[in-house]
Amino acid sequence: MTTTAKRRALLATGAVVLLTTAPIPTLAAQDSASGFRLTLSRAVARALEYHPSVLAADAAADAATSAVGAARASWFPQIALEISATRFEEPMLTAPIHEFNPTAFPDFHRTLYGGSALFAYKLFDGGSRNAEVRGARAEAAAAAAQWERTQMAIIAQVTHTYLGVLSAAGLVDAHDRRIAALTAERDRVGQFLGEGAAAQVDQLRVEAALASAEADRVAAVAALDVVQRGLALLIGAPPDETQVSLLTPVVLRDEPQMEDRTTLLTQTQAVSPVLRRAREQLVAAEAGRKAVMGTWFPSIDLFGGLVGYGYPDGFTSEWQVGARLKYPVFTGGARASAAARSTALTRTAREAVRLSEIEAQENLDIAITAVHESHARVAAMTRAVDHNYEVARIEQLALQEGAGTQTDYLRAEAELFTARAALVEARHREIAARVELARVVGELDLNWLERIVEAGT
């Protein structure tokens, strides 16, 4: 499959996801009636159809593909038709003079007509045309790789933002749970205070903790609104279509296994669009150098045509064919400078490939470490939430029985809140780490996303 066909197939995949899932009017307006949910796949599909960076990369790839056709056209003969009409001040020869014979002179007339059918063909150019076609094809492949790279970047950005909305909502939920617990404690202290079984300082302490929790919740809600609007900008939707109530929680499918580093590195070197783009640009630079070197050879052109001469009283025509050999003896150093420039550009492209390979290995190591770290953090925070929940429950029972202190209970509730918020963030960071690894390797697309991530509860 050609790079253009591959791009069209990927675009069609995104369009199918979008058309089969997105409603016709606004999403928020139909939420209650149709139960619409803005899933991660839908959000990504909309971004791929809307975001200007993807559309610009696609247009650049189309332009590069068209340049291949323009380069290949130099292999074909050039045919031109021409017609003219000229009015002279004084009578002019109606046709060329081919012999000095008074009886063979053409007529003179002030109005002359002309017509021609000409062709030209470059028989030899030192290999410049071949090199130009190879360079154009390499540039087209590089543009297609850049398009894939842009798509992967948008998928990763939308996923990160989508998870950011869910994380921010999880933080708000954790604040709500903390506020509910503190409200219950305030009511309990108020009851005991009325019975004379609690001190005023106990009520002040819980009121202060409750006010602090409510202030933190205000900040969390503001952060949630910002990230929701950011998601709307990414996918080209009104802010009311990216409210967290319309989003679907996401989880990893059955803890997908990750290949070892050697396998991932091999895959990265084979399919990463970053590396493919750098390598194709090197091919294009080398082709450009060969095209310049072709100018040191003579060029041979064939040409010919049928030329007609006419005037109001008659018409005559003649054919002509020829060949031209051309070699620029002196160009003022232009060829040497062009050769030096093309050689330097080739060196630049070669070092760019080496740099891309180094950066790919570095990014792969970072991504692998992030996956391991995030997975371990999820496991640790899950245990932390379980333990903190049990501690808070025990402290609450002890406080109710008069064996505990309010300070210990409030501290336990605060630690439980922190652990819950950290667990939500850790789970989303693990998904984001998997997505980033897929982007670095070069396998991130809608199909991969739907295969690895599923809707949670």
- Summarised one tens digit per residue, pLDDT across range 147-185 is 999 999 999 999 999 999 999 998 898 888 888 878 877
| Rounded distance between C-alpha atoms, residue 451 and residue 449, angstroms | 5
Q: Which residue type is seen at 368?
A: I
* Tokens of residue 414, six digits: 């605060």
pLDDT computed for residue 157 by the predictor: 96
| Rounded distance between C-alpha atoms, residue 57 and residue 63, angstroms | 10
pLDDT computed for residue 151 by the predictor: 96
Quick one: DSSP state of residue 74?
G
* Tokens of residue 348, six digits: 């630049």
pLDDT computed for residue 15 by the predictor: 42
pLDDT computed for residue 4 by the predictor: 54
The ranges of the chain with pLDDT < 50 are: 1, 11-33
pLDDT computed for residue 362 by the predictor: 96
pLDDT computed for residue 291 by the predictor: 93
Task: Find the angle CA(392)-CA(396)-CA(401) to the nearest 5 degrees.
Answer: 150
pLDDT computed for residue 25 by the predictor: 37
Q: Is the dihedral of CA 327, 332, 334, 340 positive or negative?
A: positive
Report the Cα 172 to chain-centroid distance in Å.
Answer: 32
Query: For residue range 36-61, what is the model confidence (pLDDT) as tens digits?
Result: 789 999 999 999 999 999 999 999 99
pLDDT computed for residue 2 by the predictor: 53
Q: What homologous superfamily is domain 3-95+108-455 in, according to CATH?
A: Outer membrane efflux proteins (OEP) (1.20.1600.10)
